[in-house]
Structure 1
C-alpha cells in the first residue's frame, strides 16, 4: 500500500483501473466507442492527468471538459459506476488519507462533468 502518490503508483492505479473499465459491461462500450484501439496513448495521458492532479506536475495538456462533452449517451449511472470502480482501486492501492485526496479530486471532476451533461449534480 502506497503512503503517497508517486508517478509509479499513479501508473499502477491507472492501468489497473482501466483494465477493470475494459471488463465492465456498463463502461466498456462507452470507453471503447471513444478510444477505439488507442488504449496505450489514452493510458499514458491518464497517467499524466492524474500526476498533474495529485502531484501538481503540469504534465497533462488537454481539454477534459470538452472531450467528455462530445460523448453521446452518458447517463448518471456511468458516473456512479466510474466512481465506484475508481474508489475501489484507490482504497486498495493507497493509505486512507491519500485515497481520500484522490476521491475528492475525482468527485470534483465528476461534478463538473455532470453539470455539463445534466445541468445538475446527479451523483454525490
Structure 2
C-alpha cells in the first residue's frame, strides 16, 4: 500500500487497473474499439490525467467529455464495471482517505459522462 501519493503510485494504479480492463469481458471490447493497439500512449495519458486530478499537476490537456461522447454503444453496465474495478484497485493501493478522494473524482466524472450519454446519472 502506498503511503505517498505521487506519479509512481498513480502509474502503478493506472497500469494495474487497465490490465484488468483488458481482461474484462464487458469493458475490453469498448476499450479495444476505442484504443486498438495504442495502449502505451493511452496509459501515459491516463497517468497524466490522474496526476492532474489528484496532484493538481496540470499535465493533462484534453477534452475528456468530448472524447467519451464520441464512443458508441456505451451502457450503464460499462460504468458499473469501470467503477467497481477502479474502486478495487484504489482501495488495494492507497490509504482509505486517498482512495476516497480517487473515488470522489471518479464518481464525479462518471456522473458527468452519464448525463452526456443518458441525460441522467444513475451511479455515483
TM over 0.5: yes
Aligned to 1:42: 42
8 Å contact kept, 1:4–1:98: no
Query: Runs of 5+ in structure 1 lacking a partner?
Result: none
- What is the CA–CA distance in structure 1 between the aligned matches of 2:11 and 2:100, rounded to whole Å? 18
Q: Any idea what the Cα deviations from partners look like across 1:64-119, whole Å, max 9, x if unmatched? A: 00000000000001000000000000000000000000000000000000000000
- What is the CA–CA distance in structure 1 between the aligned matches of 2:3 and 2:67, rounded to whole Å? 32
- What is the CA–CA distance in structure 2 between the aligned matches of 1:62 and 1:95, rounded to whole Å? 29
Q: Is 2:53 aligned against 1:56?
A: no
How big is the shift at 1:2?
1.2
How big is the shift at 1:4?
3.1
Given the two structures, how large is their TM-score scaled by the length of structure 2? 0.99
Moved over 2 A (4+): none
Number of aligned positions between the proteins: 124
How big is the shift at 1:123?
1.1
- What is the CA–CA distance in structure 2 between the aligned matches of 1:17 and 1:5, rounded to whole Å? 16
- What is the CA–CA distance in structure 2 between the aligned matches of 1:25 and 1:74, rounded to whole Å? 14
Q: Is 2:76 aligned against 1:76?
A: yes
RMSD: 0.5
Aligned to 2:96: 96
- What is the CA–CA distance in structure 2 between the aligned matches of 1:6 and 1:55, rounded to whole Å? 7
Q: Which has the higher contact order (CA 8 A, sep 6+)?
A: 1
Query: Runs of 5+ in structure 2 lacking a partner?
Result: none
Aligned to 1:108: 108
- What is the CA–CA distance in structure 2 between the aligned matches of 1:104 and 1:15, rounded to whole Å? 20
